[in-house]
A and B are shown apart, each in its own frame.
Chain A
Amino acid sequence: MSEAKPKIILRTEGFPDQRSIKTYVDKAEGYTAVRKVLGGLSREQVIEEVKQSGLRGRGGAGFLTGLKWSFVPKDMPGPKYLICNNDESEPGTFKDRYICTVNPHQIIEGMIIAAYAIGANKGYIYTRWEFQEEIGYLETAIKEAYEAGFLGKNLFGSGFDFELDHYSGAGAYICGEETGLISSLEGKKGQPKVKPPFPAVSGYLGRPTIVNNTETLANVPWIINHGAKAFRQWGTEKSPGTKLFSISGALNKPGVYEVPLGYPFASLLNDEGGGMQAGRSLKALIPGGASAPVLTPTECEGLTMDYEAMAQRGTMLGSGAVMIIDDRQSIAELLKVTIEFFAHESCGQCTPCREGTGWLNNIMDGILDRSAKPDNIERLRTVSRNMGGKTICALSDACAMPVMAFVQKFSDELQAYLAAGSGSHSK
């Protein structure tokens, strides 16, 4: 079992007819974990097993999944909801869509188990609108699961009911934030809700709701089948298990790879990713999606792919979106598209984010057309510093953190760009 490159999430990858319920059931222990759970485990036992496994949310924040589930009030009468956050919208991330492509049933099975654990009888998969193909895969999978009797009433004779629907928003980044997602699912404008109350107590339609990332839920069946201890054989003490990484950039083999957490970055780059393309060298690394602060090649030395190592270097593992920045890329242009993205996606409720992201974008316009005053480069940091930690959701921080890192680490290149145009190949 302790192979070097274990497959938990992508274990049907490359199988013929990999998405079908038959493949999952026949070749990948499909729907055996849910039988085990509904055949005799208590809710507390399920939550405890997931807690013991140390599974952390794979959407970006890395919060302990079992702990999150335990926040749902046990004895509260009335409906509770489970939502699969499949809105994967962090720039650079494309791992959840790949799970939908490889094995959507694993998500469904994970959801049934999670729903049982929190006492929800209704679930939704909320998918990013742009994933039209994957929406089709999910809808087919849901249909198959209903036909097989794995969804609906009295599952496996246990008396437990679970209905599952699919929903898609209009394609806003902020609908990947759990309360923004809930607003969208409620038919409202997709904007995060002020907390407290937290969704585990008052979420979708004001009812207790758990929102979990697709990859997180896809881990659950394996953990139930093989136990927390087996899960912990991979990864580190605080980052157990495997993780999907979406690697992009000037590599020979960009793509989605499943490796144990704590995996060396150098191996990920050179083995899985096939190394840099000929003639390109690593200029910078964005290790966890557009909101993760950038690392320099020096900082990448000895880097391992886990939550702790990233935190030590002042950045984050995020959603596992590894973006390789090569020597031909302009930091000014990269920073501009990063900021423009957040300025475009800010929902606009909280003033520091609404005005801050727009202001930063405004300054970047000035840097790109060289109308900005030189002190505007340092101002990017001042504005960012004052946007952080002040808003309802993390979008403001998600924009501020990378900006501060870019300006701190590539100040010279930005200054030079503004002064003369060096560092740019497109101006």
Chain B
Amino acid sequence: MSQESQVTQLPKETITFNLNDRDITVPKGTTVMEAAHRNNVYIPHFCWHPGLSIAGVCRFCLVKVDNRPKLEIACNLQATPGMKVSTLLPEVKEAHKWALEFHLVNHPLDCPICDQAGECKLQDFYMEVGKYKSEMDRPKVLKPKALNVGSELVLDTERCILCDRCVRFEQEVTKTGALGIFNRGDRAIVGTFPDKKIEHNYQDNLVDICPVGAFTSRDFRFKQRVWFLKDKPAVCPGCSTGCHVNVYAKPEVRTYYRVKPRESAVNSFWMCDTGRKTYKHLNQDQRLRFPVATDSAGKRKRVSTAEAVASLVAQLRSVAVQDVALLVSPQYTCEEYAAFFDFFVKKLGVTKVFQWREPTEKLEEFDGLLYRGDHNPNTFGLSEALAKVGLPKDVKNGFDDLAHSGAKLVIALAPEIGFQFPSLDSQFQRLSELPFVSVWTTSAAAYNVQGFKHLLPLKGFAEKRGSFLNYQGKVGELAHPFPAAVDDAHDVVEVVTAVADVWAHAL
């Protein structure tokens, strides 16, 4: 994306100007808004967005430049040497109050039933710069509501403040031009063209950039008040781009609600709708909730983690090392691979290591924006980890090879993001026909496969520390885990440590 080109740019000529009695040095050509943004001076705005072109229409970011008669909009004002800019003068504050008042003239003020409430710029600015007492006492203009404009979106044109961000996003980012502003004056409404809908995989970005509750997410709508949510930074596990994201959950009830993009050089401000669905498998109804082992009578039963580990070690001891195979999906962290291979390959000497990939995947596919054909977050990291223990690093689906390897004991790190593995059910079925497979997984689907004799519940990507290497080998860090939604869930490092421990003590 565009950030890459910024890295290669030569250092620019800089200029120094004064913002609120503070000298600020910025590259020549920087606008006052950008300069303020980078220097933690907040200038209220609706239409300006760092990832979009300048529209200059909300007229909110008015600032006073010394010796100029009129207030000017910071978003389209180039900082020049010696320029003295204030956002604090009474006339500027008065202008901000009225700018907000105009935005609210025809806004329905339906905050109690609006999903944006709590993260709405109208509300925020009302508190920060508002007039508090509106002077509008006339009937409001009514506009169409609850419009179906795309599979992921619901549009309320009455809440819309016509900042034009969504229109520019459609023109400049997805280049689909699916939205326009129709009619004029206070009858203007945002919308799609006749008989057309927004059809791309980036719809929810419109919800993110919409500063008010005009665009709401079909998935998140009416699910939860945002002020009850906690968000933690993570990396999207949905493909090899590895968009930086925030995961939103309500940890006290162990429920995840949504994934949103976090600004980074990898993904700029955006992420795809597919990636946004990577919270669903983390919720309890999708999870393998406890370890499972099979007793001597052949009966599957719930066991403790310690019992599950002990039974796995017993199985390991009962077979020759050349009869052990590892089946590893590219959806685990580098740290997990390191621990896993350190023990099973370097210490025990397992040589049969296979990659568990989706047979229908088309690695070379790319939508031109963010979403890649490799639907795994850590193909790169898996290759590196394999190479480190002297195994071939080629990206190759080893599922068939494993099935024909004659292995008597398989330890399988199952794919976490099941919806990215359309063949998962049939692969589970085939795996379950092997003599003994220990499936390490987050997914309840594995439990439903009766042939699986040994199951260990894992933590999901939002619940563990570690890192992914994206398609370029760039590190994406998981550093702020939520507590696991399932008590018995562990990450692979923890499980391997336990296995190694039991193995060592049993000697």
Contacts and interface: CB of A to CB of B under 8 A. Distances in A.
Interface residues of B, number: 37
A154 interface: no
Interface stretch (A115-123, A308-316, A387-395): A387-395
A389 B70 contact: yes
The 8 closest A-B pairs by CB, nearest first: A358-B186, A348-B188, A194-B56, A386-B98, A346-B185, A355-B102, A355-B105, A362-B138
A288 interface: no
A356 B102 contact: yes
Interface stretch (A92-100, A220-228, A371-379): A371-379
A355 B106 CA distance: 7
Nearest to B57: A349
Contacts of A344: 184-185
Interface in B358-391: none
A189 B70 CA distance: 27
A355 to B, nearest CB: 4
Nearest to B46: A351
B465 interface: no
B135 A379 contact: yes
A279 interface: no
A351 B56 contact: no
B186 A348 contact: yes
Nearest to A349: B57
A363 B138 contact: yes
Contact of A347 (B139, B141, B184): B184
A352 B137 contact: no
Contacts of A391: 59
A370 to B, nearest CB: 13
Given A189-B181, A194-B76, A352 B54 contact: no
A350 interface: yes
Contacts of A362: 138-139
Given A359-B138, A382-B135, A390-B62, A194 B185 contact: no
Contact of A349 (B60, B141, B164): B164
Contact of A348 (B58, B103, B181): B181
B185 A357 contact: yes
Contacts of B78: 196
B55 interface: yes
A290 interface: no
A345 interface: yes
6 contacts: A345-B184, A345-B185, A347-B185, A349-B162, A349-B164, A358-B105
Contact of B162 (A351, A356, A383, A390): A351
Contacts of B71: 389-390
Given A189-B181, A351-B57, A366 B138 contact: yes
B483 to A, nearest CB: 44
A105 interface: no
Identify which of B70, B95, B137, B181 gathers the most chain A CB atoms within 10 Å of its CB.
B137
Contacts of B136: 359
B99 interface: yes
Interface of B: 54-60, 62, 70-71, 76, 78, 95, 98-99, 101-103, 105-106, 135-139, 141, 161-162, 164, 180-181, 183-188
Contacts of B59: 350-352, 390-391
A4 B76 CA distance: 49
A359 B105 contact: yes
A60 B98 CA distance: 28
A343 interface: yes
Contacts of A350: 57-59
B161 A351 contact: yes
A58 interface: no
Nearest to A195: B76
B343 to A, nearest CB: 62
A355 B188 CA distance: 10
Nearest to A389: B70
Interface residues of A, number: 37
Contacts of B95: 386, 390
Contacts, number: 101
Contacts of A343: 185-186
A382 B102 CA distance: 12
A366 B139 CA distance: 10
A354 interface: yes
Contacts of B188: 348, 354
Contact of B76 (A172, A196, A347, A357): A196
A358 B161 contact: no
Contact of B58 (A351, A356, A357, A366): A351
Interface string A281-306: 00000000000000000000000000
Interface string A170-191: 0010000000000000000100
Contact of B184 (A346, A352, A387): A346
Contacts of B180: 189
B184 A348 contact: yes
A376 B105 contact: no
A379 B162 CA distance: 24
A351 B59 CA distance: 7
Nearest to A385: B98
Given A349-B164, A359-B105, A390-B71, A354 B138 contact: no
Given A345-B184, A349-B181, A355-B186, 19 more contacts: A172-B184, A346-B185, A348-B181, A348-B185, A348-B186, A348-B188, A352-B99, A354-B102, A355-B103, A356-B102, A358-B141, A359-B138, A359-B186, A363-B138, A372-B138, A376-B137, A376-B138, A386-B102, A389-B70
Nearest to B182: A189
A354 B137 contact: no
Contacts of A351: 57-60, 99, 102-103, 161-162
Contacts of B98: 352, 386
Contacts of A189: 180-181
A180 to B, nearest CB: 11
A348 B105 contact: no
Contacts of B55: 194, 349
A390 B99 contact: yes
B478 to A, nearest CB: 41
A348 B162 contact: yes
B159 to A, nearest CB: 14
Contacts of A354: 102, 162, 185-186, 188
B326 to A, nearest CB: 59
A392 B183 CA distance: 18
Contacts of B99: 351-352, 390
Contacts of A359: 102, 105, 136, 138, 186
A386 B71 CA distance: 12
A335 to B, nearest CB: 16
Nearest to A365: B138
A191 B437 CA distance: 67
B57 A392 contact: yes
A362 B254 CA distance: 50
Contacts of A392: 56-57
Contacts of B101: 386
B57 A357 contact: no
A213 B60 CA distance: 32
Contacts of B105: 355, 358-359
